[in-house]
Amino acid sequence: MKTLIHRSPARGSNAGQKVSFRIRARTLAVCLALAALLIALAFFSLAAGRFDTGMADVFNALSGQAAGKTRMIVLEWRLPRTLLVALLGAALGLGGAIFQSLTRNPLGSPDIIGFAAGSHTGALVVLLLFSGGYYATAFGALGGGIVTAALVYVLAGTTGQQGFRLIVVGIGISAMLSAFNAWMIRKADLEMAMGAAFWAAGSLNGLGFEQLRPAVMLFCLLCLPLAALARPMRQMELGDDVALASGVAQRRTRGLLMLLGVALTALATATAGPISFIALCAPQIARRLVGASGVGLFTPALTGAVLLVLADTAAQHAFGRQLPVGIMTISVGGLYLLWLLIREGRR
Amino acid sequence: MPLALAVLGLLFVALSIASLRLGARPVAFSTLRDAFLHYDPGMTDHIVVRQYRLPRTILCLLCGAAFGTAGALIQASTRNPLADPGILGVNAGAAFAVILAVGVLSFGSITAYVWFALAGAAMAGLLVYMIGASAGGATPARLLLSGVAISAVLGGIGSSVTLLDPQAFDSLRHWQVGTVAGRNLAVAATVAPFIVAGLLLALIAAPALNTAALGDDTARALGLNLSRLRIIVIVSVTLLAGAATAATGPISFIGLMMPYAARWIAGSDQRKVIPLTMLCSVNLLLAADIAGRFLIYPDELDAGIVVAFLGAPVLVMLARSARTKAL
Q: What is the overall mean pLDDT for chain A?
A: 78
Asked if residue A123 belongs to a domain, the reply is: yes
Among B82, B83, B127, smallest CA distance to A341 is for B127
Burial (CB < 10 A; 0-12, 13-18, 19+), residue A71, is: middle
Q: CB-CB: which of A284, A338, A346 is closest to B150?
A: A338
Q: Which of the four pLDDT bands, split at 50, 70 and 90, describes residue B75? A: confident
pLDDT above 80 (res A204): no
**Which residue type occupies B266?**
A
Distance CA B95, CA B115 (A): 12
**Distance (Å) from the alpha carbon of A79 to chain B's nearest alpha carbon:** 26
Best mutation target, A168, A190, A192, A275, to test chain B (most B CBs within 10 A): A168
Asked if residue A14 belongs to a domain, the reply is: no
**What residue spans of B38-78 are helical by DSSP H?**
44-47, 54-78
Say if the Cβ atoms of B134 and A328 lie within 8 Å.
no
Distance CA B221, CA A130 (A): 63
Best mutation target, B167, B256, B299, B320, to test chain A (most A CBs within 10 A): B320
Phi, psi at residue A324, to the nearest 5°? Answer: -60, 140
Structural domain span for residue A129: 25-290+298-346
Q: Any bridge partners for residue A7, and if so which?
A: A19
Distance CA B285, CA A156 (A): 26
Secondary-structure breakdown of chain B: helix, strand, coil percentages, each rounded to the nearest 5: 75, 0, 25
Contact A181, A117 (CB under 8 A): yes
Distance CA B241, CA B122 (A): 9
Q: CB-CB: which of B131, B144, B152 is closest to A107?
A: B144
Q: State which residue of chain B sits closest to A332, comparing Cα positions.
A: B153
Task: Tell me the mean pLDDT in the region B232-245.
Answer: 87
Say if the Cβ atoms of A161 and B174 lie within 8 Å.
no
Query: Considering only CB atoms, which chain A residues are within 8 Å of B151?
Result: 334
Supply the pLDDT for residue B14.
94
Q: CB-CB: which of B81, B162, B253 is closest to A175?
A: B253
- Domains of chain B in start order, with CATH, are 2-320 (1.10.3470.10)
Best mutation target, A103, A167, A169, to test chain B (most B CBs within 10 A): A169
Task: Tell me the mean pLDDT in the region A214-239.
Answer: 84
Q: Which of A1-5, A190-194, B4-8, B288-292 has the lowest mean pLDDT?
A: A1-5
**pLDDT tens-digit map of B200-225:** 999 999 999 988 888 888 888 888 88
Distance CA B161, CA B146 (A): 23
Among A85, A130, A202, A178, smallest CA distance to B163 is for A202
Q: CB-CB: which of A164, A180, A194 is closest to B169?
A: A194
Query: Considering only CB atoms, which chain B residues are within 8 Å of A193?
Result: 169-170, 173
Say if the Cβ atoms of A338 and B81 lie within 8 Å.
no
Under 8 Å CB-to-CB from A40, ≥6 apart: which residues?
none
Q: State which residue of chain A sits closest to B251, comparing Cα positions.
A: A179
Angle of helix A162-187 versus helix B166-175 axis, rounded to 10: 120
pLDDT above 80 (res A269): yes
Q: Any bridge partners for residue A6, and if so which?
A: A20
- Mean pLDDT: which of A144-158, A217-231, A306-320, B168-182 is highest? A217-231
Q: What is the DSSP string of B105-164?
A: S---SHHHHHHHHHHHHHHHHHHHHHHHHTTSS--HHHHHHHHHHHHHHHHHHHHHHHHH
pLDDT above 70 (res A4): no
Asked if residue A57 belongs to a domain, the reply is: yes
Say if the Cβ atoms of A280 and B148 lie within 8 Å.
yes
Q: Global pTM?
A: 0.73
Under 8 Å CB-to-CB from B221, ≥6 apart: which residues?
none
Q: Which of the four pLDDT bands, split at 50, 70 and 90, describes residue B83? A: low
Distance CA A342, CA B132 (A): 8
Q: Any bridge partners for residue A2, and if so which?
A: A24
Q: State which residue of chain A sits closest to B142, comparing Cα positions.
A: A341
**pLDDT tens-digit map of A59-80:** 777 777 777 777 777 777 788 8
**C-alpha A226 chain-centroid distance:** 14
Say if the Cβ atoms of B257 and A333 lie within 8 Å.
no
Q: Which of A304-308, B76-80, B245-249, B280-284 has the lowest mean pLDDT?
A: B76-80
**Which residue type occupies A78?**
R
pLDDT above 80 (res B103): no
Say if the Cβ atoms of A179 and B304 lie within 8 Å.
yes
**C-alpha A72 chain-centroid distance:** 29
Asked if residue A15 belongs to a domain, the reply is: no
Say if the Cβ atoms of A190 and B159 lie within 8 Å.
no
Q: CB-CB: which of A175, A284, A342 is closest to B134?
A: A342
Query: Considering only CB atoms, which chain A residues are within 8 Å of B157?
Result: 327, 331
Supply the pLDDT for residue B322.
53
Distance CA B301, CA B52 (A): 16
Say if the Cβ atoms of B177 and A344 lie within 8 Å.
no
Query: Considering only CB atoms, which chain B residues are within 8 Å of A167?
Result: 82
Asked if residue A10 belongs to a domain, the reply is: no
Query: Considering only CB atoms, which chain B residues are within 8 Å of A337?
Result: 145-146, 148-149, 152
Q: State which residue of chain B sits closest to A344, comparing Cα positions.
A: B135
Q: Which of the four pLDDT bands, split at 50, 70 and 90, describes residue A159? A: low
pLDDT above 50 (res B15): yes
Number of domains in chain A: 1
Q: What is the DSSP string of B165-195?
A: -HHHHHHHHHHTT---TT--HHHHHHHHHHH
Q: State which residue of chain A sits closest to B299, comparing Cα positions.
A: A187
Say if the Cβ atoms of B315 and A107 lie within 8 Å.
no
Q: CB-CB: which of A190, A331, A338 is closest to B146?
A: A338
Q: State which residue of chain B sits closest to A319, comparing Cα positions.
A: B160
Burial (CB < 10 A; 0-12, 13-18, 19+), residue A343, is: exposed
Asked if residue A5 belongs to a domain, the reply is: no
Q: State which residue of chain A sits closest to B135, comparing Cα positions.
A: A345
Asked if residue A85 belongs to a domain, the reply is: yes
- ipTM value: 0.74
Distance CA B321, CA B323 (A): 6
Supply the pLDDT for residue B325.
43
In this predicted model, which residue has the larger pLDDT, A31 or B147?
A: A31
Q: Which of the four pLDDT bands, split at 50, 70 and 90, describes residue A1? A: very low
- The CATH code of the domain that includes A272 is 1.10.3470.10
Phi, psi at residue A4, to the nearest 5°? Answer: -110, 120
Burial (CB < 10 A; 0-12, 13-18, 19+), residue A120, is: buried
**Which residue type occupies A232?**
P
Supply the pLDDT for residue B277.
93
Asked if residue A7 belongs to a domain, the reply is: no
Element (H, E) at A21: strand A19-24
Query: Considering only CB atoms, which chain B residues are within 8 Å of A186?
Result: 173-174, 176-177, 302
Q: Count CB pairs under 8 A between chains A and B.
A: 160
Q: State which residue of chain B sits closest to A347, comparing Cα positions.
A: B135
Contact B69, B85 (CB under 8 A): no
Under 8 Å CB-to-CB from B296, ≥6 apart: which residues?
none
